[in-house]
Structure 1
Amino acid sequence: MLLETGDILHLAEPLKGVADVADPSVAAFLAGVGDRLAHLARCEGPEALVSAVAETRPDYVLMGSIPDPALFEHLCAAMRSATLGVIVLARGGAIPAALRDAIPARMGVDPLDPAEGLNGFTLHLRALMRRCRPVALTGRQRVGGMLLDEAALTLTGGAGQASLSLEDMRLIGPMFDVPGAVWSREALLRLAYGAQTENGLRTVDVKLNRARRRLRAALGQDPVRSVRGAGYVFDPGIG
């Protein structure tokens, strides 16, 4: 899932994370980031990673492509929060079945193909937070005349304010992250429900259409537009 868009790494900066930079794939991926991810602690090796999780209570962990399955158990034991997101750098964007079976229920794990770059990392990270740790997303974003408040789960604009469910936010949130982008159903399904979802593409149509009806009733307009043969785009300029 590669989107041609401007730099959106700032959307990931408020989230607190830890990364194992002793892993060459992680170090290479973060090369050039500098201090832009101000709340990302760099660790050297799995033991340091586990210690950092216990000490800093991060929102997410960034690790290399072939972690020891036992590492998930150690991280889970070290967690001092109810949930934790894990981004695994994995070429092709898939996690091996043996690794999936080792993931504790308290963790949300998302594979990221390094080729998707820092914008892809930002989108996947925020989507992962919406799925497993929505309390971490407390910001507000404005697109045109619309204001999305992720903490309050509301969308304000037009004639009023609409309340959103967590599932609504999983589908609409990425559109706010990259306003004006046309989102395929495949991309929205992946972000809203995760790489290993058993939901089909029809789920996106059904859930998003329900959300659009509620938005139209509350705001007096539907800011989501269908693009024939391509997907959906968030367009607050339409009536």
Structure 2
Amino acid sequence: MLWDDPELEVVELTSSRRALALAFGRRGSLSDRLRDGLDQARFDLLEVDDLQACLDNIAARKPDVLLHDLVVSNAISDFREQVDRSRATETLPVLPIMSRGEACPNALSLTPASNDGEIFLKLRALLRRERPSALSGRRESGCFQLDESGFKMHFQDLSAELSKTELCVLGPFFDLKTSRIDRQSLESLAFANNGWRTGSRSIDFHVIRMRKRVKAQIGIDPLCAIRGFGYALADG
């Protein structure tokens, strides 16, 4: 996966807006790496180790994302149902944390082998999928600009309207300095898919549709295919 690369570099956020992450788990179980990753993604962190405190803060503080330790939450049979009943907002993005055991594409890994960039990429991908309004400002890469909360991609004085699916496909390219993503990682970030099969081309269908629609609006294809690997943001 993309975040298995120890040389992975993400693009720093320039927006001054900070979001709120509520973390539920054992006290002191969150690593400095997670705290640094949350800060890099412009999140303030509130930690709780009691279920009722977690539910009360969901209702009162209206966090932008809920992180939960799988070891703790799996011991509560109706954890997600209680979370859903407590939220005061239409959606509440939820991201599980794994501190040991086998890696899970949909969870945030805090094992010694995990990459710091994984926190940044998965948090931003989750918000695009479930709460894009929490993403403010424009992201720039080469000749393109991406307005995530406005669902628009800009090229020179032209702009393309994006669907949420198209935003989820394009967004990760603006988070990376290399702007190159393999198919498996792109599908995981865009759709939180953990059923990837070797040789799968399901992501290609969505990419092809997005490229066609965006090119029709701004006159340029935003992505280029890399044979046997995935895609890269076009040079323009």
Q: Which runs of 5+ in 2 are unaligned?
A: none
Contact 1:61/1:85, CA 8 A, preserved across alignment: yes
User: 2:71 matched to 1:71?
Assistant: no
If asked which structure has higher relative contact order (CA below 8 Å, sep 6+), I would say: 2
Counterpart residue number, 2:88: 80
Deviations 1:28-85 (A, max 9, x none): 6536669665522122332322221111101111111221232222222211011111
User: 2:73 matched to 1:89?
Assistant: no
User: 2:55 matched to 1:50?
Assistant: yes
Q: What SS does the corresponding residue of 1:175 show, helix, strand or coil?
A: helix
Measure how far apart 1:26 and its partner are.
2.6
User: 2:38 matched to 1:40?
Assistant: no
Q: What SS does the corresponding residue of 2:78 show, helix, strand or coil?
A: helix
Counterpart residue number, 1:113: 109
Q: Which amino acid letter does the alignment assign opposite residue 5 of structure 1?
A: L
User: 2:13 matched to 1:17?
Assistant: no
Query: 1:132–1:93: structure 2 CA closer, same or farther, 3 Å change rule?
Result: farther
> Which residues of 2 match residues 105-184 of structure 1 at below 5 A?
110-115=106-111, 116-158=114-156, 160-184=158-182
RMSD across aligned C-alpha pairs, in angstroms?
Answer: 2.9
Q: Distance in 2 between matches of 1:180 and 1:25?
A: 32
The more displaced of 130-139 and 80-89 is: 130-139
Q: What SS does the corresponding residue of 1:69 show, helix, strand or coil?
A: coil
Q: Distance in 1 between matches of 2:43 and 2:206?
A: 35
Q: Which runs of 5+ in 1 are unaligned?
A: 96-109
Q: What SS does the corresponding residue of 2:181 show, helix, strand or coil?
A: coil
The more displaced of 1-10 and 42-51 is: 1-10
Query: 1:18–1:145: structure 2 CA closer, same or farther, 3 Å change rule?
Result: same
Q: Which amino acid letter does the alignment assign opposite residue 14 of structure 1?
A: R
Q: What SS does the corresponding residue of 1:201 show, helix, strand or coil?
A: coil
Q: What SS does the corresponding residue of 1:176 show, helix, strand or coil?
A: helix
- In the superposition, the TM-score normalised over structure 1's length comes to 0.80
Q: Distance in 2 between matches of 1:201 and 1:59?
A: 32
Q: Distance in 1 between matches of 2:139 and 2:12?
A: 14
Q: Distance in 1 between matches of 2:37 and 2:140?
A: 26
Deviations 1:97-135 (A, max 9, x none): xxxxxxxxxxxxx41222434321121111112222222
- In the superposition, the TM-score normalised over structure 2's length comes to 0.81
Q: Distance in 2 between matches of 1:122 and 1:38?
A: 10
Q: Which amino acid letter does the alignment assign opposite residue 108 of structure 2?
A: L
Q: Distance in 2 between matches of 1:94 and 1:53?
A: 25
Query: 1:32–1:231: structure 2 CA closer, same or farther, 3 Å change rule?
Result: closer
Query: 1:197–1:83: structure 2 CA closer, same or farther, 3 Å change rule?
Result: farther
Counterpart residue number, 1:195: 193
Q: Percent identity?
A: 26
Q: Distance in 2 between matches of 1:225 and 1:169?
A: 17
Counterpart residue number, 2:9: 6
The more displaced of 190-199 and 81-90 is: 190-199
Query: 1:41–1:24: structure 2 CA closer, same or farther, 3 Å change rule?
Result: closer
